[in-house]
Amino acid sequence: QLDNDAQNLVLFLSALGYDVTGQAMQRGDVCSWNGISCSTLHNTRDLSESYRVVTEIFCPHCDLRGIISRNVVLPYLQVLDLSGNFLSGSIPYDLFISFPMLKYVNLSSNQLIG
């Protein structure tokens, strides 16, 4: 699952100017990137089988710029804090479809519409 989450996370963050290449070179695994948290989930059929998923994107005041992508799905994301950046455009109407587990969202202090 993390491979899918990692690919989607790279797409989402690179569109906002996050230093994906620098983080990947310095820290490797997306779960160790600044502002990114992951959790381990266990297979309900086989408890010895587990996988990691992205659960938090916490990047307030990270100098992010651009439009929030509508084409990214992070099914286990629970926290999205992109406050205090320079995001523009509309807040995607399907944000909660792309991130169905989302419990906390902070997009304040940006240049968003909607």
pTM value is 0.88
Task: Assess whether pLDDT exceeds 60 at residue 1.
Answer: no
Q: Tell me the pLDDT band of 96, cut-offs 50, 70 and 90.
A: confident
Q: Tell me the pLDDT band of 39, cut-offs 50, 70 and 90.
A: very high
Q: Domain residues of the chain, as ranges?
A: 2-113
Q: Which CATH number fits domain 2-113: 3.30.565.10, 3.40.50.1240, 3.40.640.10, 3.80.10.10?
A: 3.80.10.10
Residue 104, CB-side half-sphere exposure with 13 Å CA sphere? 10
Per-residue burial over 30-41, b if 16 or more Cβ lie within 10 Å, else e, is bbebebbebeee
